[in-house]
Amino acid sequence: MFGTGYEMHSRMTKVVVIGSGAREHALVRALRRGGGAREIVAIPGNPGIAREARCVPAQPSLSDAALAESPDLVVVGPEAPLAEGFADRMAQRGVPCFGPLQAAARIESSKAFAKEIMLAAGVPTPRAAIFEEAAAAREHARSEGACVVKLDGLAAGKGVIVADDGAAAAAAVDELWKPGARLLIEERLRGREVSIIALCDGENVVPLPPARDHKRLLDGDRGPNTGGMGAVCPPADATQELIDLTVRTILEPTARELARRGTPFVGALYAGLMLTAQGPQVLEFNCRLGDPEAQAILLRLRSDPLPLFFAAAQRRLAGQKPVWDSRTAVAVVLAAHGYPGAPRAMDEIHGLEALAAEEGDDLWVLHAGTKPVAVASSPSPRSAPAPGRRGRARTVPRPASRSPECRAAPTSPRRRCNWRGAGKDPEGNSTACCSASSRACSSRRWEASFSSTW
Ligand code: AMP
């Protein structure tokens, strides 16, 4: 079913995947099912990944550990190492790396830089003013009324406040301000959001199918925003026309502008878009695959990702054509009780063995922030907060029929997986496991015992 399309090396190819989340687990899974003679190493990986690839600690440093493996290719999952120059160290040693150099990773690590690139490239994006001084920012925010206040720099999803009026905007400035900070105060747009991620080799872009993440913690679009409770790929309203328009007016001009400045972007260029009456506008760029978007996107990939990543890293992406499953994929994040505020660690997770028996091309169970504990004779995973994404435990992506977007997803046999000790929040809602359906999907409650059918 999966053509390898990969004849470059006759010997075993060694691929190192950097990261420890469910996105990296999905990368490992996709690379494994791509076939071909290959060894996959994850640094540092996680207990789920360890079942299917060798995991190596990031010692004495992430880049040292990667170089010690003498890999043929390194695929970087998270943004932090890229912002810190991980890809530069690979380049210095001649190791092909799927992930941008530090200078190009600024498209994510600095929102001010991203705005500058977009303005220079004529990419549609809401207008913004940049402030290095709190009083001026506060005054501007108050006069703007409804707007969005953004902290410049990597903030793990916590650096953006959408304000309804001037007073809230001024308060947002005070909340985000810290000495030496830069703030963007941006025009507030309305519309539906969609993410279009493209593989990029510094010049050519190959778009992946669009995805939409779901951030609200609780079912029925309630509860706080989170790092993402799930994703659907593709959302029903993301047409081929939208993809073509985004490539033409956003992804290609951005790649060209970065290359023109001598900082070509190699890796996954992620455009977070708002769909407006005037067309798609860029709210943010990321310099890597999204999490949990990647879990839904990669489940649908029906060709080998290795030649794609290689071609991007080796600047020869033109003509690459990934093959996609025509069905929609839905990723559901199961989070520990108390997530995202104060996730409770070490609750045991049950039911994974039964799920494992059903895993295959249509169902993946992916780990993040889990820790194996010895129970009787065999180790069973517990949820443990991982650095960065505290308390998110795993993603379960599966494909559904194409349309409407997830209504067809919950039709498969009963899935069982639960957390011992999972409880209710003060309103009596289950918070251990949550729905990942996007707004247009049929609403669905995930019980703490997670015996829902889907
Ligand atoms: P960002 O990290 O810039 O993508 O912002 C996080 C979230 O804030 C986005 O996914 C949007 O929901 C919201 N957001 C960001 N910028 C805007 C904007 N200009 N107008 C409306 N909502 C926005």
Domain count, the chain: 3
Report, as an integer, the average pLDDT of 83-100: 98
Query: CA 381 to CA 371: how far, in whole Å?
Result: 5
Q: Is 168 in the pocket of ligand 1 (CB under 6 A)?
A: no
**∠ at Cα 60 (59, 61), nearest 5°?**
80
How far does the centroid of ligand 1 lie from the alpha carbon of residue 290, in Å? 15
**DSSP H helical segments within 51-101, as ranges?**
62-68, 79-83, 86-92
Q: Within a domain: residue 113?
A: no
How far does the centroid of ligand 1 lie from the alpha carbon of residue 187, in Å? 10
The dihedral through the CA atoms of 249, 267, 273, 194 has a sign that is: positive
* 49 and 153 part of one domain: no
* 428 and 386 part of one domain: yes
The dihedral through the CA atoms of 215, 158, 22, 452 has a sign that is: negative
Q: Look at residue 4 and tell me whether its pLDDT is greater than 50.
A: no
Read off the pLDDT of residues 104-124 as tens digits, 9 standing for 90 and up. Answer: 999 999 999 999 999 999 999
* 78 and 225 part of one domain: no
Q: Within a domain: residue 200?
A: yes
The closest residue, in CA terms, to atom 12 on ligand 1 is 193
The closest residue, in CA terms, to atom 1 on ligand 1 is 284
> Where residue 206 falls among pLDDT bands split at 50, 70, 90?
very high
Report, as an integer, the average pLDDT of 280-290: 97
432 to 349, 381, 445: CA distances (angstroms): 11, 15, 11
How far does the centroid of ligand 1 lie from the alpha carbon of residue 283, in Å? 6
Please provide residue 302's backbone torsions phi and psi, each rounded to the nearest 5 degrees.
Answer: -105, 5
> Where residue 452 falls among pLDDT bands split at 50, 70, 90?
very low
The closest residue, in CA terms, to atom 8 on ligand 1 is 160
The closest residue, in CA terms, to atom 13 on ligand 1 is 162
* 74 and 173 part of one domain: no
Its domain, for residue 85, covers 15-101
Q: Look at residue 50 and tell me whether its pLDDT is greater than 60.
A: yes
Q: Is 146 in the pocket of ligand 1 (CB under 6 A)?
A: no
Q: Within a domain: residue 260?
A: yes
Q: Is 22 in the pocket of ligand 1 (CB under 6 A)?
A: no
Q: Is 343 in the pocket of ligand 1 (CB under 6 A)?
A: no
| Predicted model pTM | 0.86
Read off the pLDDT of residues 219-256 as tens digits, 9 standing for 90 and up. Answer: 777 788 787 888 999 999 999 999 999 999 999 999 99
| Mean residue pLDDT across the chain | 83
Q: Is 192 in the pocket of ligand 1 (CB under 6 A)?
A: no
How far does the centroid of ligand 1 lie from the alpha carbon of residue 160, in Å? 7
* Ligand 1 binding pocket mutation candidate from 274, 276, 278, 287 (most atoms within 8 A of CB): 274
Q: Look at residue 407 and tell me whether its pLDDT is greater than 80.
A: no
How far does the centroid of ligand 1 lie from the alpha carbon of residue 194, in Å? 11
* 242 and 381 part of one domain: yes
* Strand spans (E) along 152-286: 160-163, 183-187, 192-201, 205-207, 212-218, 222-233, 266-276, 279-286
Question: Domain holding 347: CATH number?
Answer: 3.30.470.20
* 201 and 173 part of one domain: no
Question: Domain holding 50: CATH number?
Answer: 3.40.50.20
* 330 and 350 part of one domain: yes
* 206 and 173 part of one domain: no
Residue 381: which residues within 8 A CB-CB, separation 6 or more? 47, 48, 348, 349, 352, 367, 370, 371, 372, 373
Q: Look at residue 1 and tell me whether its pLDDT is greater than 90.
A: no
Q: Within a domain: residue 127?
A: no
Q: Is 221 in the pocket of ligand 1 (CB under 6 A)?
A: no
228 or 402, greater pLDDT = 228
Report, as an integer, the average pLDDT of 350-355: 80
> Where residue 10 falls among pLDDT bands split at 50, 70, 90?
low
* 177 and 207 part of one domain: no
Q: Is 144 in the pocket of ligand 1 (CB under 6 A)?
A: no
Q: Is 284 in the pocket of ligand 1 (CB under 6 A)?
A: yes
Q: Within a domain: residue 270?
A: yes
Read off the pLDDT of residues 18-45 as tens digits, 9 standing for 90 and up. Answer: 999 999 999 999 999 998 889 999 999 9
Q: Within a domain: residue 440?
A: yes
Q: Within a domain: residue 120?
A: no
Residue 130: which residues within 8 A CB-CB, separation 6 or more? 112, 115, 152, 182, 183, 184
* 164 and 216 part of one domain: no
The closest residue, in CA terms, to atom 9 on ligand 1 is 283
* Ligand 1 binding pocket mutation candidate from 109, 127, 130, 148 (most atoms within 8 A of CB): 148
128 to 2, 73, 91, 112, 194: CA distances (angstroms): 45, 38, 34, 9, 21
How far does the centroid of ligand 1 lie from the alpha carbon of residue 334, in Å? 24
* Ligand 1 binding pocket mutation candidate from 162, 197, 214 (most atoms within 8 A of CB): 162
Residue 383, pLDDT score: 65
* 297 and 397 part of one domain: yes
Q: Is 271 in the pocket of ligand 1 (CB under 6 A)?
A: no
Which atom of ligand 1 is nearest the CA belonging to 187? Answer: 19
Q: Look at residue 414 and tell me whether its pLDDT is greater than 60.
A: no
Q: Could you tell me whether strands 378-383 and 266-276 are parallel, antiparallel, or unpaired per DSSP bridges?
A: unpaired
* 338 and 393 part of one domain: yes
Q: Within a domain: residue 126?
A: no
Chain centroid to CA 409: 21
Which of 101, 120, 150 terminates a domain? The answer is 101
Q: Is 147 in the pocket of ligand 1 (CB under 6 A)?
A: no
Q: Is 272 in the pocket of ligand 1 (CB under 6 A)?
A: yes
Most confident among 127-131, 340-344, 384-388 (mean pLDDT)? 127-131
Residue 398, pLDDT score: 61
Q: Is 15 in the pocket of ligand 1 (CB under 6 A)?
A: no
How far does the centroid of ligand 1 lie from the alpha carbon of residue 230, in Å? 17
